[in-house]
């Protein structure tokens, strides 16, 4: 099952995206609809709300007075916490039921307005955010929903801003154009990434870099890495000791292959060979790469590790699993930190990579060729490390 998180601020057009995805074949779980369901007449949550906030919030025919309840909890954090303590367990229980009821091969879209605010990025394989200019959103809320302009602006201001959504989302859908423009963008995303992602997840087919071509530095690489690490952390829980973004994409201003390298730290490497560990990472979208069990050490030996790869066709990523404090773990972090701290070393590495990429178009050959540069540079790295530790 491919889990897709869909978010966007009030008035952004998120519901239109959800409806389009449903029409294309996705199973849509609507968080707002569930929130309404759990407080319908006769539901235990409604009874608890009446007991906590008084009979005035429920009409004579047993329907929740949402506006009246809103006036009570708005600006009263204690009252809001009490309300959430009543409704949230029921909402999450119903959400879990709906996820469990979806077919194993389904693409499930969780329409979740507060995904960013709730810090839920790690729970999905892919997060989509619908972005629309504030003034356009205000206009839509006033004209289409009849919300007074001041109220519309207050509601928008109370939610996460677009910068937070950009950091949390893998895909941004611009909805400042026409409904037809939005539908076209959703259809293209469905065909080019979402459906192939679901197929790759079921088959366990990892994504590969087509060439060794270098990309200009991308300032979004760290945010992309953070999202991937959140998914790994969510999948593995306390089996993970540390999570790190490593490699060239972790070094500002360094050109790199558009491949995110991640380092997952475990207490003992044997833990990474457990069936549950491998299966849980695969379920999160990171499959084990067979036959890769070490790196070549700079002294001629080897450093044990395990390697997983992302199955997302839109984001190639390598996940290096190593024991925390092992030579391979320390070296990966030291190289990253050295290149971050030493512009001269960073520029020399960039030049070497450009030359090697021109000679080795195959990504495997290119990776092997880079080993020679690090062998020569290892003395400089050792000097830098010693100076930092003194």
- Which positions make up the binding site? 11-16
As a whole number of Å, the end-to-end CA separation of the chain is 51
**112: three-class secondary structure by DSSP:** coil
For the chain, the residue count is 390
**110: three-class secondary structure by DSSP:** strand
- Rounded to the nearest 10 degrees, how much is the dihedral formed by the CA atoms of 188, 193, 196, 201? -150
Question: How far is residue 193's CA from residue 314's CA, in Å, rounded to a whole number?
Answer: 6
CA distances from 376 to 299, 349, 380 (A): 11, 11, 8
CB distance 384 to 341 below 8 Å: yes
Closest CA to 9 of 123, 130, 117, 171: 130
**Which residues pair with residue 307 across a beta bridge?**
320
Question: How far is residue 389's CA from residue 334's CA, in Å, rounded to a whole number?
Answer: 11
- Cα radius of gyration (the chain): 25
Matching residue, tokens 């060794």? 212
- DSSP line for 206-275: ----S----B---TTHHHHHHHHHHHHHHHHGGG-SEEEEESGGGSTT--B-S-EEEEEEESSGGGGGSH
Question: How far is residue 168's CA from residue 112's CA, in Å, rounded to a whole number?
Answer: 13
Contacts 24+ apart (CB under 8 A), 240-244: 240/264, 240/265, 240/266, 241/265, 241/266, 241/267, 241/324, 242/324, 244/332, 244/333, 244/336
**Binding site feature residues for ATP:** 11-16
């Amino acid at each position: 099952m491919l889990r897709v998180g869909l978010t966007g601020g009030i008035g952004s057009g998120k519901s239109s995206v959800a409806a389009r995805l449903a029409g294309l074949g996705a199973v849509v779980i609507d968080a707002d609809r569930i929130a309404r369901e759990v407080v319908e007449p006769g539901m235990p949550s409604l009874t608890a709300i009446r007991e906590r906030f008084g009979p005035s919030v429920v009409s004579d025919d047993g329907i929740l007075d949402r506006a009246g309840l809103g006036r009570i909890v708005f600006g009263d954090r204690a009252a809001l916490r009490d309300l959430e303590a009543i409704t949230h367990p029921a909402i999450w229980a119903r959400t879990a039921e709906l996820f469990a009821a979806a077919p194993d091969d389904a693409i499930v879209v969780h329409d979740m307005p507060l995904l960013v605010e709730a810090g839920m990025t790690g729970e999905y394989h892919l997060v989509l955010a619908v972005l629309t200019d504030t003034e356009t959103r205000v206009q839509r809320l006033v004209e289409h929903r009849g919300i007074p302009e001041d109220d519309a602006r207050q509601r928008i201001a109370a939610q996460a801003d677009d910068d937070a959504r950009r950091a949390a989302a893998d895909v941004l859908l611009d909805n400042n154009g026409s409904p037809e423009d939005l539908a076209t963008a959703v259809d293209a995303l469905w065909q080019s990434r979402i459906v192939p992602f679901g197929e790759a997840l079921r088959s366990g087919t990892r994504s590969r870099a087509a060439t060794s071509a270098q990309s200009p530095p991308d300032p979004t690489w760290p945010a992309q890495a953070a999202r991937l690490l959140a998914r790994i952390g969510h999948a593995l829980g306390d089996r993970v000791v540390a999570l790190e973004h490593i490699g060239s994409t972790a070094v500002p201003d360094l050109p790199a292959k558009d491949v995110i390298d991640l380092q997952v730290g475990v207490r003992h490497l044997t833990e990474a060979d457990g069936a549950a560990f491998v299966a849980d990472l695969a379920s999160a979208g990171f499959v084990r790469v067979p036959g890769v069990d070490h790196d070549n050490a700079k002294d001629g030996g080897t450093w044990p590790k395990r390697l997983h790869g992302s199955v997302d066709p839109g984001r190639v990523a390598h996940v290096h699993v190593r024991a925390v404090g092992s030579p391979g773990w320390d070296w990966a972090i030291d190289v990253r930190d050295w290149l971050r701290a030493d512009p001269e070393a960073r520029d020399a590495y960039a030049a070497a990579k450009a030359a090697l990429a021109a000679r080795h178009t195959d990504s495997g050959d290119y990776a092997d060729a880079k080993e020679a540069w690090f062998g020569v540079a290892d003395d400089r790295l050792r000097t830098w490390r010693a100076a930092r530790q003194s």
